[in-house]
Amino acid sequence: MDEIPIGDVCYEDFALLLSTFYPDPVFPNDRTVEKLLEMGRRFLDPFVIKVTEQLYLISNNSLIENEKMLWLADEYGMSKLLEKCVRRINTVEKAKKLKKSKEYKTLSDATKLKVYERLMNFI
């Protein structure tokens, strides 16, 4: 494919994607992360996904719930971040919270299995 059609992407979203590498890189934050990952995948920009994963691997300041972060990691193939999120499920209460979340229904079977195996470690 020589060109990727922009189609229904709004100017602000496309500008957000471009701002990750031009002119002065802007890093993802809790407000922009989901849209950046979506744009990165749509426009075949693996850099956005890699930067996001690295940023959230080292960050402890995110206000994104673990259930949402787990879903983002699963959805966008951020395996190290996925492992970090699974490790955070360290009580039955946290597992129940995940099970009740809207994100749980959309997790891949492979991720659900990782969560199940994690539960087996502390039951």
Q: Would you kindly state where each structural domain of the chain is located, as residue ranges?
A: 1-64, 65-123
**Predicted pLDDT at 114:** 97
CA angle at 32 for the pair 50 and 7, rounded to the nearest 5°: 90
pLDDT band at residue 1 using 50, 70 and 90 as cut-offs: low
| Residue 37: burial class (beta carbons within 10 Å; 0-12, 13-18, 19+) | buried
Please write the tens of the pLDDT for every residue from 79-116. Answer: 999 999 999 999 989 999 999 999 999 999 999 999 99
Q: What are phi and psi of 76, to 5 degrees?
A: -110, 15
